[in-house]
Amino acid sequence: MTTVAAYAAPAAKAPLERTTIERRPVGEHDVLIEIKFAGICHSDIHQAREGWGEAIFPMVPGHEIAGVVAEVGPGVTKFTVGDRVGVGCMVDSCRECDQCRAGLEQYCVKGMTGTYNAVGKDGEPTYGGYSTHIVVDEAYTVRIPEGLALDEAAPLLCAGITTYSPLKHWNAGPGKKVAILGMGGLGHMAVRIAHALGAEVTVLSQSLRKKDDGLKLGADHYYATSDPETFEELRGTFDVILSTVSAPLDLDRFLSLLRADGAFVNVGAPEEPVSLNLFSVIGGRKTLAGSSIGGIRETQEMLDFCAEHGFGAEIELISASEINEAYERVLASDVRYRFVIDVATI
């Protein structure tokens, strides 16, 4: 075991503070990663505050991890010391079920092992990226291409793959009209990726406050959802609406913006159940769907895609002592567009 520095929430809703945690010894197929940067995802806050149900404390959040390999186990074949690598939302899965074999480890029937707030196969709790080092099986580690800066790459490990995977699955591309609902951490990546895939991209945001940014990131159109005219004008328009919003939504209203056979895909998750009039999907044979991150192979594909198109995330780099303040700012949608912790400051 190795003792390393970390930032942890000691209990639900308690502020995060500096502490130390134990990392397991480097096993046969493990890599020891010296973490350089860790993104702050909205789901870190949901979990640290038990918004999504009972959680494990102390909690070291962080599933947008970018760093450098510091040591490899004897059986490691994918990586060597010095490689630039990333770890996203999962660090293990059963590896045997149909989903795992298909490269969809995030949908493992036995449940994937989360990077934090989970229990690993060794029975020990997992701790995330707000920490100087992490030990991860190479099979759940991805390579960060040379063209991407590590700090701007970190948020791709959750925000990037969470939006890339559904956009690919629902065929966002040339000739398709895609709406991105919400212009936060996930939304800004979704705009970049959908544009790079060749789709006609519309941002639907509460206000026009971030319109200039949206257009710069690649959006073709930008509408405010606070304006009732938007719903009149865009009725029946979109092939796909990707919702990155984690606040409750009037789903019936948004489903009316889909064309026939269109899909409304949720990647944001409100803390409370939502209601829906089923006529909203019956008329127009519409799909109401969800999507969770992406598999390891697809995560690598996404990183290569972003490097090829020359973009990472738009970030605000912070020191570890600013984490609690950053949480408040995320909740107030006051970040453009992802906080990234400089792990050297832990």
Residues that bind Zn ion (CB under 5 A): 41, 43, 93-94, 97, 100, 108, 158
Q: Nearest-CA neighbor of 92 among 68, 66, 72, 119?
A: 119
Alpha-carbon distance of 341 to 129, in angstroms, equals 9
Distance of CA 7 to the CA centre of its chain: 20
Looking at the Cβ atoms of 97 and 317, the one nearer to Zn ion is 97
Looking at the Cβ atoms of 23 and 46, the one nearer to Zn ion is 46
- Least distance in angstroms from the C-beta of 103 to Zn ion: 11
Residues 6+ apart with CB under 8 A from 110: 93, 94, 97
- Least distance in angstroms from the C-beta of 109 to Zn ion: 6
Looking at the Cβ atoms of 215 and 317, the one nearer to Zn ion is 317
Question: Is the backbone peptide bond immediately before 15 cis, with ω within 30 degrees of 0?
Answer: no
Alpha-carbon distance of 62 to 290, in angstroms, equals 22
Alpha-carbon distance of 42 to 20, in angstroms, equals 23
DSSP labels for 69-106? EEEE-TT--S--TT-EEEE-SEEE--S-SHHHHTT-GG
Instruction: Write the CA distances from 174 to 148, 177, 178, 264, 291, integer angstroms.
Output: 25, 9, 10, 19, 22
Q: Nearest-CA neighbor of 12 among 66, 59, 79?
A: 59
Looking at the Cβ atoms of 160 and 262, the one nearer to Zn ion is 160
The structure tokens 């519309």 sit at: 202
- Least distance in angstroms from the C-beta of 162 to Zn ion: 7
**What's the alpha-carbon Rg for the chain, to the nearest Å?**
20
- Least distance in angstroms from the C-beta of 235 to Zn ion: 32
- Least distance in angstroms from the C-beta of 281 to Zn ion: 27
